Structure 1
Amino acid sequence: MLYVEILGNLPGMARDEVKAMLEPAGGEIAGQDYLFLKVNADERVFPFLDRLGLAHEYGELIVEAESVEELLEKAKEVEWPIKGTFKVDTETMANCRHNVLDLPRKLGAVIHAQGFRVNLSRPDTLVRVYCGERLYAGIRLRFFDPKDFEGRKAHHRPFFRPISLHPRVSRALVNLTGARKELLDPMMGAGGILIEAGLLGLKVYGVDIRPEMVEGTEMNLLHYGIRNYELKLGDATKLEELFDKKFKAVATDPPYGTSATLAGRKRDELYRKVLESIYGVLDKGGRLAIAFPASFDGKKEAEKVGFRLVGRYYQRVHKSLDRYFYVFEK
């Protein structure tokens, strides 16, 4: 059994991202306790879980209990898969209903009694205890360092545009499409989604109606070492004229506002035409991950085209913008 700790800013989207990454390797979410997911899977899912954007960490779940006393008793009965030295670290979630103040010391003593050495400053193995409705103890296998994502935010790129999704969210959109080999962003802007897809080893295809965006995206992709790409200057409402192929995965974040960013076209009408255009180049069974302002009924308009809603996630960005992220299937 494994565990994944997801982030709390878009929890529904984070859970579905994990689900999408488990499916190719036959894993499944077995339970949830606030931001803690129990995952029924084996090591075959590791390459897929390594792709996650909206996760804090994942690891091997060793013990689950209803009380501190039960956790400590169970901990005595298991063989801890610890390499080198260890440290016990407690995560007290918002729904924690147990007194875990002294639990790191007590659990550390149990594990130490099995012959393992403690190192509180630089342990080789981190034992993680989560307190929610129940208690869970496991071994951290992968930590998603926020510095990695923060370092790819818009203002750190050579071609900079201030309005851009956070790299974690861009990564999640890519993953929610289930993309395995390639991905299209038909309104790529400065290429934030394509950067995350390219770093996952996908071939990326991008389209934008503004020449400076095509040039800038190429600059950004090359900056991050991404070489497997195809960028086109063109209209997202006419994708079938640009490509003589179908795609299994499309992810995009359309512009939300001014006539300049919308190339002088009315916003809602542009969105409708873009949905129709994407539907035309998407394979049957393929998926689209897309963001729309909350004032635009993305579900209704996409279903008119023929899409089926797979997921919808609300986010309030600031007082003048709230939006939904959607995942649709053809």
Structure 2
Amino acid sequence: MLYVEILGNLPQMAEGEVKALLELNNKEFRIIERDYLFLALKANEEAFSYLKRLGMAHEYGILLFSAESLEELYLKAKALKWGDFINTTFKVDRETMLNCSYNVKDLEKELGAIIAQQGFKVNLSNPGTLIRAYCGEKLWVGVRKETFSAKEFEKRKADKRPFFKPIALPPRLARAMVNLARAKKEVLDPFMGTGGILIEAGLIGLKVYGVDLRSDMVEGAKKNLEYYGIKEYKLQKGDATKLRELFPDKTFEAIVTDPPYGTSATLGGKKREDLYEKALESMYEVLDGYLSIAFPAEFNVEKTAERIGFTILEKYYQRVHSSLDRYFYVMKN
């Protein structure tokens, strides 16, 4: 058993990202329970190779047990062979979630004392093993294996790149979109802009392909990819509504993109709805797998996508600001 603690800003999408990565690793792996922002997984440590790609998560680790009372937690802790999980020193760290149903003010002290009775020493400043205790509708105890630093994602925000425009997806969101597309080898972004989606895809080891109408965007995205050490890329100037002309002999396992929402000047002179429809038709022609895409809420994407031949698998809502509501879709052709 494993666990993941997800972010709270778009929890349904964050859960969907975990689900997608589990499916990539093993069709038998799945989420078996969600307790606020805590996900309990039916999976083993083989899943770590994919979970390390997560964008919308705080951490993941090994789930040791759950309990429905403090007494049950302490009994299970006393019965556990902690030597299977602790090599040197340890620390107990508590996460009290908003739906916590228990009085856990002494949990760290009590659980730490139980573990120490088996001969392990506490180190509060630099523990060899971090024991995590979560309080929600249930009590959960696990061992942290990986945490995702917000600072690392912040380093890749639009204004931190050599070439940037103010409108760009946050890196965590871009990473989640890539993962929702269940990509194993490669990703195409036919509206790449400054390359934010491609940066996140490249950093998790995927080969990236990008298309943009503007030459300055192509050159700028190249600078950004090189800046973050990404070498496996192919970028070209072109029209997202004519992808088969750009890739006459290729199909892609995953397309991930955030089409422009703006005026005709930023839409290549096309009306927005016409651009979206033609781009979806074009993507369908070169895709053999999953499409992860964002659209403003007022665009009736379901009707258009289904007419083209896509099956809509997932849909996540986000209110960006007073003038923009959007949905993130996962589709398959």
Q: TM-score range by the shorter chain?
A: over 0.9
What CA distance in whole angstroms lies between the structure 1 residues aligned with 2:196 and 2:203? 11
After TM superposition, list the pairs within 5 Å mapping 1:250-261 onto structure 2.
250-261=255-266
What CA distance in whole angstroms lies between the structure 2 residues aligned with 1:243 and 1:155? 31
Q: Deviations over 1:26-51 (max 9, x none)?
A: 22112111111111111211110000
What CA distance in whole angstroms lies between the structure 1 residues aligned with 2:278 and 2:330? 17
Report the identity percentage.
63
Output the amino acid matched with 1:106. Answer: E
Please list every run of 5 or more consecutive structure 1 residues that lacks an aligned counterpart in the other structure. Answer: none
For the residue of structure 1 that corresponds to 2:168, the secondary structure is: coil
Give the counterpart of 1:318 among 321, 324, 329: 321
Please report the TM-score for the alignment, with normalisation by the length of structure 2.
Answer: 0.97
RMSD: 0.8
Question: Are 1:270 and 2:275 counterparts?
Answer: yes
Give the counterpart of 1:63 among 65, 79, 91: 65
Q: Deviations over 1:161-206 (max 9, x none)?
A: 1100010110111111111011100000000000000111111000
Q: Deviations over 1:247-297 (max 9, x none)?
A: 1100000111122211221111111111111001111xx100000011112
Q: Deviations over 1:9-61 (max 9, x none)?
A: 11111111111111132221121111111111112111100001111100111
Greater shift after overlay, 163-172 or 22-31? 22-31
Structure-1 residue corresponding to 2:294: 291
Deviation at 1:83, TM superposition (A): 2.4
Structure-2 residue corresponding to 1:23: 23
Structure-1 residue corresponding to 2:74: 72
What CA distance in whole angstroms lies between the structure 1 residues aligned with 2:191 and 2:326? 17
Deviation at 1:125, TM superposition (A): 1.1
Please list every run of 5 or more consecutive structure 2 residues that lacks an aligned counterpart in the other structure. Answer: none
Give the counterpart of 1:90 among 86, 94, 98: 94
What CA distance in whole angstroms lies between the structure 1 residues aligned with 2:254 and 2:226? 22
Output the amino acid matched with 2:114. Answer: V
After TM superposition, list the pairs within 5 Å mapping 1:119-138 onto structure 2.
119-138=123-142
The 8 Å contact of residues 165 and 192 in structure 1, kept in 2 or not, is answered as yes
Output the amino acid matched with 2:322. Answer: K
Question: Are 1:116 and 2:150 counterparts?
Answer: no
What CA distance in whole angstroms lies between the structure 2 residues aligned with 1:83 and 1:302? 53
Output the amino acid matched with 2:47. Answer: V
Structure-2 residue corresponding to 1:2: 2
Deviation at 1:299, TM superposition (A): 1.8
Give the counterpart of 1:217 among 217, 221, 225: 221
What CA distance in whole angstroms lies between the structure 1 residues aligned with 2:115 and 2:87? 12
What CA distance in whole angstroms lies between the structure 2 residues aligned with 1:288 and 1:63? 37
What CA distance in whole angstroms lies between the structure 1 residues aligned with 2:332 and 2:264? 30
Please report the TM-score for the alignment, with normalisation by the length of structure 1.
Answer: 0.98
For the residue of structure 2 that corresponds to 1:237, the secondary structure is: coil
- Aligned residues between the structures: 328
For the residue of structure 2 that corresponds to 1:137, the secondary structure is: strand
Structure-1 residue corresponding to 2:237: 233
The 8 Å contact of residues 53 and 169 in structure 1, kept in 2 or not, is answered as yes
After TM superposition, list the pairs within 5 Å mapping 1:98-247 onto structure 2.
98-244=102-248, 245-247=250-252
For the residue of structure 1 that corresponds to 2:62, the secondary structure is: strand
